[in-house]
Amino acid sequence: MPAADTSRASIIIRAARPDDALLVRGFVQSSLASVAYADAAIASLDSALGHPGDEARALIALHDSHHAGVVVYGAIAGAEAAGRIRLIVVDAVARRRGLASALVQAALAALARDGMRVAFVELASDPALGATRSLLLRNGFHIDAAVADYYRDGVDLLILRRDLAAL
């Protein structure tokens, strides 16, 4: 899948640094304020920003030199050659510019460089996360499995998968 069109503005995607934490955590908390599943996502962000390692690393998107997006990704502990994306958030003022797709593609490329053969995302089937689900499907993921009523009646756990062999 081709990279997202980010040519409308100056876009830089780079590894997160300790001095990014305050700004990134601020827009992530603001963006996820109404999402019922935010606690685990914010915990993964804190891990990636505070103690980055194989299981939790972050990439930051800068849009015209402003912090505009973040993706948290890493290896799945105990699994062989399997990684996952744990969080993807783009600040509300920077949406609709291809940043989320660019972040997803950058994380997938990093996982592939690290020897991962497959990437997973766990996502609630909640309609509030429909845009995230659409983003992942547009970026080559497919629904691999579902656990019925995992979060509550009518809200399943979706396990999305993307093979990384083509990267």
- What are φ and ψ of residue 165, in 5° steps? -60, -35
Q: Which tens digit of pLDDT belongs to each residue from 79-124?
A: 999 999 999 998 766 677 788 999 999 999 999 999 999 999 999 9
35 lies in some domain: yes
104 lies in some domain: yes
Q: What is the mean pLDDT of residues 5-25?
A: 79
Beta bridge partners of 90: 69
5 lies in some domain: no
72 lies in some domain: yes
- pTM for the whole thing? 0.89
CATH number of the CATH domain containing 152: 3.40.630.30
Q: Give residue 120's identity as a one-letter amino acid code.
A: F
User: How many CA atoms within 13 Å lie on the side-chain side of 83?
Assistant: 29
Quote the tokens at residue 167: 């990267």
21 lies in some domain: yes
pLDDT given for residue 9 in this prediction = 55
* pLDDT, the chain, mean: 88
Number of domains in the chain: 1
149 lies in some domain: yes
How far does CA 133 lie from the centroid of its chain? 11
6 lies in some domain: no
| 67: containing domain | 11-163
4 lies in some domain: no
